[in-house]
Structure 1
């Protein structure tokens, strides 16, 4: 996405991914492999797939996964374009 301040069609897809991995706010853990597999199912765009691929290999609770995804999105300057997660 080259245009600053314009939301991409994929805006909110990472939130949808997180919500699918954690259907309730219960403290369940997922691995990077779980995130990658769900990203494949959702057929995320190349930019969002890059974000997922940049996750360190580890186990994540919802809060830690959101923090990590938001850090990557922010570092790329994509927060306004693709959104952040909670």
Structure 2
């Protein structure tokens, strides 16, 4: 059975989150990402993805890998977009 993937209205919001987190910074904490996601009023699914990132400090590539991994585990990459 072929399931058609659709883009949610919030497609790309996670990329905007990552871009905003790394303005002028090389490393961010998980808590920074959670707080920024709340401030940006991301929808509940996207906040859940950010909350799945394990505690710690992240450079951009490592944070993107964690977020993309969580998106893939939920099958949401096509719906919400991946990050880089």
Do they fold alike, i.e. is TM over 0.5?
yes
Provide the residue aligned with 1:56 in structure 2: 54
Separation in 2, partners of 1:31, 1:13: 19
Structure 1 residue runs of 4 or more that deviate by more than 4 Å after TM superposition: none
Unaligned runs of 5+ in 2: none
**How many residues matched?**
82
Separation in 2, partners of 1:65, 1:16: 13
Separation in 2, partners of 1:35, 1:16: 11
What's the TM-score once normalised by structure 1's chain length? 0.90
CA RMSD of aligned residues (A): 1.4
Separation in 2, partners of 1:59, 1:4: 36
Separation in 1, partners of 2:57, 2:39: 20
What's the TM-score once normalised by structure 2's chain length? 0.92
